[in-house]
């Protein structure tokens, strides 16, 4: 990456990875506790991750133009 938004894209990718880690940890805890339904918090974490990934994608598109 050599574009104007590289730093922001990298930070957003890092945030998305952190959100994945948190979600996976919570999922592991839920399974250990015998949960069978996906929690609202997990859904919201995944929604946040998708939003962050979308923002990074938009910035990549801006760099290409």
Question: 7-60, pLDDT tens digit by residue?
Answer: 999 999 999 999 999 999 999 999 899 988 888 888 999 999 999 999 999 999
**Burial letters 26-46, b for 16+ CB under 10 A, else e:** eeeebeeeeeeeeeeebeebe
- Return the domain boundaries, the chain: 6-64
Burial class (CB in 10 A: 0-12, 13-18, 19+), 7: exposed
User: Which pLDDT value is given to residue 9?
Assistant: 96
- pTM (two decimals): 0.83
Pick 17 or 3 by higher pLDDT. 17
Residue 59 CB contacts under 8 Å (≥ 6 apart), including other chains: 5, 8, 9, 12
User: Which pLDDT value is given to residue 1?
Assistant: 46
Q: Rg (Cα) of the chain, in Å, rounded?
A: 15
User: Which pLDDT value is given to residue 2?
Assistant: 64
């Amino acid at each position: 990456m050599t574009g104007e938004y590289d730093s922001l894209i990298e930070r957003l990718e890092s945030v998305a990875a952190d959100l994945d880690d948190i979600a996976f940890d919570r999922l592991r805890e839920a399974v250990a506790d015998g949960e069978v339904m996906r929690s609202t918090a997990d859904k919201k974490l995944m929604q946040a991750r998708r939003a962050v990934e979308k923002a990074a994608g938009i910035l990549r598109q801006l760099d290409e133009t």
